[in-house]
Amino acid sequence: DAGITQSPRHKVTETGTPVTLRCHQTENHRYMYWYRQDPGHGLRLIHYSYGVKDTDKGEVSDGYSVSRSKTEDFLLTLESATSSQTSVYFCAISPGQGSEKLFFGSGTQLSVL
């Protein structure tokens, strides 16, 4: 999957607990993204990053925060998980200007009970 590793692959947690998902890339791509995928909604952009320490909100950012301290790592944090955040989370990367393809990781299945 284009040098993208998401961890963990599966996680079950309880409402109110903090959760951090990790995306690691070995492609040295500038852009990194977090999406969630739910039935009937498709892929929705949560947050994205256009460089180290440069991040911005997507269309469904409430309840989520991100950090990018190194080019290769993009972390997604649910400060206090809720059942509505049960979803499949995908990380994606893109080289940026001049190459507009997105390359996706294998996803993280998160269940909040």
Partner 1 sequence: SQKIEQNSEALNIQEGKTATLTCNYTNYSPAYLQWYRQDPGRGPVFLLLIRENEKEKRKERLKVTFDTTLKQSLFHITASQPADSATYLCALANTGNQFYFGTGTSLTVIP
Are the C-beta atoms of residues 85 and 75 closer than 8 Å to each other?
Answer: no
- Which of these, 18, 13, 15, 38, lies nearest to 90 by C-alpha position? 38
Q: Which of 9/70 has CB closer to partner 1?
A: 9
Pick from 35, 33, 47: nearest CA to 90: 35
* Helical residues (DSSP H) of 1-113, grouped into ranges: none
As measured in angstroms, the least distance from the Cβ of 66 to partner 1 is 14
Q: Which is nearer to partner 1, 18 or 97 (CB)?
A: 97
Which residue has 């993204």 as its token pair? 33
Q: Smallest gap, in angstroms, from Cβ of residue 16 to partner 1?
A: 29
Q: State the minimum distance, in angstroms, from the CB of residue 110 to partner 1.
A: 15
The least distance separating partner 1 from the CB of residue 63, rounded to whole angstroms, comes to: 18
Residues of this chain that interact with partner 1 (CB under 8 A) are 1, 31, 33, 35, 40-45, 48, 50, 58-59, 90, 92, 94, 96-97, 100-107
Q: For residues 41 and 70, which CB has a smaller minimum distance to partner 1 in the complex?
A: 41
Q: How far apart are CA 73 and CA 52, in angstroms?
A: 9
